[in-house]
Chains A and B, each alone.
Chain A
Amino acid sequence: MPGIRFMKLSDLQKEFSEALIGERIYSRVNSLVEGMLRRRDPTIYARGAHDYRDALADVTQDFILDVLIGERQIDYVMSVSPDIESFDRLVTRQIRRYLARTRARTVIDNLIERSLPILRKAPFVTHAGGGEDRFSLGGALVDDPAGDEARLRTAVALAQAVPKTIGQGQERAPRIYDQEALTGVLSILCTQLKRPVSRADLQDFFHILLTPWATALLDLDAEEHARRTLTPEEEAVVNEVSQTMVAEMSDEERLIFQYKYANMPDREIASALGLSRQSTAPRKRELFLRISSQVEGLALDIQQAVLARVNAIIAIGGVDTG
């Protein structure tokens, strides 16, 4: 079989008349698809792959099955192409249209696009170099790749507390976080990861953070949302109690609360505080007793709402989210 560069239209026409699509046409189309994918973001155009080569065979196969065979475009291309260059131009045009039709832009892509301008401004710090910007939030950075995954999981657990914007179930791509909440989420990631954060880190972080949430809340309809909404009187109570509670907490107590609310084990809290588990226990007990006295007398669902609000206020940096 002649190489791609030495193929002639007559080779392809012969194969077309014998088998419709065989090795020659397949390999030529594959090289054209590769040329198109190489210049595009693979996460959007190549089935979410990090490298377009991982998805090249799948994209080529689907394109041939759906467009060239399914829509019979191979017949059209072979009917009107007078030479191999025309064949390439027509197939490339079809590939471009196919990629535009099948591009997958996810809510995570949208969040990353919104995150980058936030990360480029203070208080975040941009680390240029290596062809890609990375971002941090001051503080001490550590060089410990082995603990990276555990720190990412911690960041995800803590970021779960940041309030999400509930859609009406009609948006094509829900916004998920308002600007303030997104800043809070990014602060948690940078603080916990303890190293400059890249675009790939953002992708992993949001992927883990939103995957369990997607099936539950993305489909939440307005009626269900309304049932969970507090009355104005209850809202006032929740606001007042939660603000008082946060104001009375020390930084150490806020961290303990945040970790316990995210169901993190005591050893993680101790590690975050730089203390032993034995030293952490009395601090935790004291905080719980104070919280219990503050929510005493409130209905159970109001108590839960207060704790959720406290967690949200702490998560986005002490700002009241109510």
Chain B
Amino acid sequence: MIPESVRDAARAAKANRDVSSAHAPVGARGEIGVLRNSVGPTPASRVLSRLGIVVARHDSTSTLTIHLATNEVEQATDLDLILDGDTEGLAFPLVLQSELYGPIFEEQLQESLTYSTLSRRCRTRSCTSRAR
């Protein structure tokens, strides 16, 4: 039986959220979306999805260059960029792992969560430390 405090907190959190819902991706630069391993020998259901941001689009090969993203904000290094969920239209904060990038097929970008221009208030961990 769910406690009343949890139910109330969930209700309040839902009412306060102003985030865009997931929609079909277009593969545009700055798009943050869910990446799925839909090719290769491993069944898609056995592989955990990852989030990533599109930084380049290559129409001739139908591929995208993406940087991986993670929700483990407290483990961000000085090289990573931290995106505040509120300013980026995301429901949760994200870390863009600047060193983890590579190409994917367009169809591997399965859901689009939001767009980031990276010019808004994203920061590195060292900025966060200085602010504290």
Q: Is the CB of A72 within 8 A of B91?
A: yes
Give A85 to B45 CA distance when docked, in angstroms. Answer: 9
B48 at the interface (CB under 8 A from A): yes
Query: Helix, strand, loop or mixed for chain A's interface?
Result: helix
Q: Is the CB of B6 within 8 A of A75?
A: no
A249 at the interface (CB under 8 A from B): no
Q: Is the CB of A21 within 8 A of B92?
A: no
Q: Is the CB of B2 within 8 A of A23?
A: yes
Q: Is the CB of A73 within 8 A of B48?
A: no
Number of B positions contacting A (CB below 8 A): 29
Could you count the A-B residue pairs with CB atoms below 8 Å apart for me: how many are there? 72
**Chain B residue nearest to A65 in the complex (CB):** B9
| Distance (whole angstroms) from the CB of A127 to the closest CB of chain B | 44
A204 at the interface (CB under 8 A from B): no
User: Per-residue CB proximity of A91-124 to B under 8 Å, as 1/0?
Assistant: 0000000000000000000000000000000000
- CB-CB contacts below 8 Å: B46-83 with A: 48-51, 71
Give A67 to B44 CA distance when docked, in angstroms. Answer: 27
**Chain B residue nearest to A15 in the complex (CB):** B10
Within 8 Å by CB of B22, from A20, A23, A76, A79, lies A79
Give A26 to B7 CA distance when docked, in angstroms. Answer: 10
- The interface residues of chain A lying within 8 Å CB-to-CB of B11 are 19-20
B122 at the interface (CB under 8 A from A): no
B111 at the interface (CB under 8 A from A): yes
**Chain A residue nearest to B113 in the complex (CB):** A79
Give A21 to B7 CA distance when docked, in angstroms. Answer: 7
A35 at the interface (CB under 8 A from B): no
Task: Give 6 A-B pairs besides A65-B5, A69-B13 with Cβ atoms closer than 8 angstroms.
Answer: A22-B10, A26-B2, A76-B71, A79-B113, A82-B44, A86-B48
